Amino acid sequence: MRNYIIKRLIYSIIIAWGILTITFVLLRVGPSSPVDRYILNIAARGQDVDSVKQAIEARYGLNKPITEQYFSYMGNLLQGNWGWSFSASMPVLELIGSHWIYSFQLILLATIFAIILGVGLGMLAAVKQNTKFDYAASIFSFIGISIPGFWLGLMLILVFAVYLGFFKTYYDTNYPIWSLENLKQLILPVMALGIGELAGYVRYTRSAMLDNLHKEFVTTARAKGLPESTVIGKHVLRNAILPLVTIIMFDLGSVVFGGAYLTEIVFGIPGLGQVSFNAIFADDYAVVVAVTLIGTFLVLFINLATDLFYTYLDPRIRYE
């Protein structure tokens, strides 16, 4: 197991380096520069645009060949210097350090919401197969999977914030992160981000439970006189949970890289998604690369954690 973990960590570092290199190169070969955002202000003050632009690019090494920029960036990165954010006028690490908590709380709450309700409803739908509840859960799962998260977020704002006035139409950063007021204003974002995942978990849990409900070991457990709750919870769910873990972890990676970013933009939450969105339009190279690298490491860590969790759920699984 130790050798497997070491091997996976080495692979993860290689993959992260490859993604970082590709992102770095693609940003540098573009026609625009981070200093372009200063040009209008410079021109408005009557200064010479070209000379000021050249001075700024020389200060931050943007006028050097791309290979020299790359090796310089990698050297600084290994020393803990992630660069300077032009759009925020601060070090990238400081910018990320002040915004990551907003993304973390959104992803954490949406994941808990989706897993608890999704797995619970899926189990009930399987146990109550071919009943009205089962049909309703199946219809909900198909609708929930089909609705884009950003569209759902806009509809939730329109109905519950604009028309009914239950929530604010914007995210208020004046509330403490884990206060009740802040948790209340996260209800709509959590629903927008979590309902699609919840609907998927209902469908997958129901399917996995039905695959095991009529197997011989379940019949044997019932024949022994075990309570139905024990049969479902200890025997059926335990055998059905392995494919569910794969789906949940895979969805978590997609939420980190996609769903949470769009949700933050729709609701104005100042997390890493909003930061990277603003950085892309400002050609803020360092911020885009840093956020991409963080997302890559999170996905790689989730994949490794999934493989290790398999060995706990099923002792028969061993990695060479």
Alpha carbon distance 144, 204 (integer Å): 13
pLDDT for the residue 232: 81
Each residue of 233-279: pLDDT tens digit?
777 877 778 778 878 877 777 676 666 888 888 998 998 888 888 88
Residue 187 near residue 131, CB atoms below 8 Å: no
Q: Report the DSSP beta bridge partners of residue 91.
A: 84
Contacts of 275 (CB under 8 A, 6+ apart): 88, 95, 96, 99, 287, 291
Task: Please report the pLDDT score of residue 188 as a whole number.
Answer: 93
> If you ran DSSP here, which 8-state letter would residue 214 be given?
T
Domains and CATH numbers, the chain: 2-89 (no CATH), 93-313 (1.10.3720.10)
On the question of pLDDT at 286 being above 60, the answer is yes
Model confidence, pTM: 0.83
For residue 183, how far is the Cα from the chain centroid?
Answer: 19
**Tens digits of per-residue pLDDT, 75-114?**
888 888 888 887 787 889 999 988 889 988 998 899 899 9
317 has pLDDT over 70? no
Of 67-81, 131-145, 294-308, the one with minimum mean pLDDT is 294-308
| Percent of the chain residues past pLDDT 90, beyond the cut | 14
pLDDT at 133 over 70: yes
Give the confidence band of 319 by pLDDT, cuts at 50, 70, 90.
low
How many other C-beta atoms are found inside a 10 Å radius of the C-beta of residue 1?
10
Per the listing, tokens 């890289």 go with: 257
pLDDT value at position 38? 62
Name the residue type at position 77: L
* pLDDT band, residue 117 (cuts 50/70/90): very high
Question: pLDDT tens, 12-56?
Answer: 889 889 988 998 888 777 666 666 666 665 655 666 667 767 777
Q: What pLDDT does 33 receive?
A: 67
Map tokens 């290199």 to a residue.
21
Share of the chain above pLDDT 70, in %: 88
Say what the pLDDT of residue 61 is. 75
Burial 76-112 (b: 16+ CB within 10 A, else e): ebeeeebbbbbbbeeebeebbeebeebbebbbebbbe
Per-residue pLDDT tens for 194-218?
A: 998 899 899 888 888 888 877 777 7
Whether the CA torsion 69, 72, 74, 79 is positive or negative: it is negative
Q: In this predicted structure, what is the pLDDT of residue 43?
A: 59
β pairing state of 84-85 and 90-91: antiparallel
pLDDT band at 187 (very low <50, low <70, confident <90, very high): very high
